[in-house]
Amino acid sequence: MKQILHKLRERERERERDKNKDMEGIEHRMVSVNGISMHIAEKGQGPTVLFIHGFPELWYSWRHQINALSSLGYHAVAPDLRGYGDTDAPTSITSYSCLHIVGDLVALMDTLGEEKVYVVAQDWGAIIAWYLCLFRPERVKAFVSLSVPFRPRHPKMKPVDSMRTLFGDDYYICRFQKPGEIEAEIAQIGTVNVLKNVLTNRQPGPPCIPKGKAFQTSTDSSVTLPTWLLEEDLNYYATKFGHKGFTGPLNYYRALDLNWELTGPWTGTQVRVPVKFIVGDLDMMYTTPGVKEYVHNGGFKKDVPFLEEIVVMEAVGHFINQERAEEVSNHIYDFINKF
């Protein structure tokens, strides 16, 4: 028993040393962009790699890639998007349109003095990055998209109506639409429990949330964290979301139909930047009906003609940049280093 306890303590010490090493040298500052104050984390010197996080995450989701790419001669920059972490959170849903978020990122590039950057993004960050590549391709050297492929605009059907038709009223994006409703369920179950269940969920898509069961969770505190997510990591997320709340991040979903209206002029437009797409075979986005067919049967390549690589990782879920941090960092480096 003593030997087992000793090994467990030593393992915890090793994990704590690794965590401290991950945070070493990462600098934080606030910058003024597009009418808001934005928090960024950065490290390294060289060409800039802009990392864009998803939901429900923060700059912190890229901690491993920040260290890896900065050690290889790049300037790694990861902001908290508007509504998240230490960045301002406007109250209006209309302040979370794709034009606002892309405007924040373009202004950030200008603040950094960068005409063009490499972009790496996951989940909602990837959605925003696709918009960035669509609106301002001249500002992007190359794009590594994790988890979410390009989604061409349907000319006749708004996205929320389409999702409701395909997946029903309990589909998570449909459940997010009414302001305050899902926030009340989150408050009831608790920030830590919600984050724990979302970040560790490996159920195949499409994800649905029956009323009263936010994020398919329970208050069962016995959910075991995977090896890639430490208690310290969960506590960091919980502290930030506990302070800021979820309304800002949820407003991204509530602005989906507004985005559809605003992007009418880009209907049918191709994304013309070099792209590498990486996804886990257990990712709920990848296992949603129709996505695999789009990715592999020519539709993706037609909409994104400079799509150069598609990587499907085995036995990996949605939060791929944290679950397979070293492997993802290597994939990113191998691709952007070509440019």
Label the pairing between strands 140-146 and 27-33. unpaired
In the predicted structure, residue 18 carries a pLDDT above the cut 90: no
Domain ranges of the chain: 2-336
What residues contact 143, with CB distance under 8 A and at least 6 apart? 118, 119, 120, 121, 129, 133, 273, 274, 275, 276
pLDDT (0 to 100) of residue 5: 46
| CATH level 2 (architecture), domain 2-336 | 3-Layer(aba) Sandwich (3.40)
Give kind and range of the element (H or E) at residue 307: strand 307-313
Which tokens is 145 given?
């998209």
Q: What is the DSSP letter of 176?
A: T
pLDDT (0 to 100) of residue 52: 98
pLDDT in tens, 261-278: 999 999 999 999 999 999
Q: What is the DSSP letter of 33?
A: E
One-letter identity of residue 174? C
In the predicted structure, residue 2 carries a pLDDT above the cut 60: no
pLDDT in tens, 287-317: 999 999 999 999 999 999 999 999 999 999 9
What positions carry a catalytic annotation?
123, 253, 318
Q: Higher model confidence: residue 23 or residue 162?
A: 162
Give kind and range of the element (H or E) at residue 78: strand 75-79
